[in-house]
Amino acid sequence: MRIMTRIRRATPEDAAEVLRLRQVMIDSVHSGTPSTDWHALSLPTLRARLTDPDGSFAAVVVDHPDRSGALAALAAGTLEYRIGRADNPHGVVGHVFSVATDPGTRRRGYARACMGGLLEWFRERGAVHVDLNASAEAEPLYASLGFVRKPDPSMRLHLRST
């Protein structure tokens, strides 16, 4: 018998925990000394985004089974508009950018459950494609959900504010 994991949309009250789990994800991908200095600056913006359930941002979470007020897992993403093309005439694209599980609650299916909820949110809003960047450790999960590697000619410019 398989037990269903209860997922839900994150609320403004979850913002600090969402940032904590995002830091878990960042620390697992990037080496070096972790920095949480940016959390205080990010918190008001994240709370505002979590206040708008009809906006272009969603965070799907699982509550921690042992710690009240804490989160066990997170999957967050945004909807973007890109000019349409043959396989996506309306140009709605989902982008997953943060999937993380609290280290003490891994291997319980929480990230999969959160991803399932986030993918449903994308479908309900008309996304035809969903993109993400996968770590080697997470790639089997995403492949099992139907994601495939694609050649990516992405480049990035970092704009510095004055």
Residue 58 sits in a domain of what CATH number? 3.40.630.30
pLDDT (average), residues 43-47: 97
**Structural domain total, the chain:** 1
Answer whether residue 62 is part of any domain: yes
Answer whether residue 3 is part of any domain: no
- Domain hosting 84: range is 8-144
What pTM, to 2 d.p., does this model score?
Answer: 0.89
Residues in contact with 18: Cβ distance below 8 Å, sequence separation at least 6, in sequence order: 10, 46, 50, 59, 61, 71, 74, 76
Answer whether residue 78 is part of any domain: yes
pLDDT band with cut points at 50, 70 and 90 for residue 3: low
Answer whether residue 113 is part of any domain: yes
What count of Cα atoms within 13 Å lies in the side-chain half-sphere of residue 113? 19
Residues 92-149: pLDDT tens digits?
999 999 999 999 999 999 999 999 999 999 999 999 999 998 888 889 999 999 999 8
Answer whether residue 151 is part of any domain: no
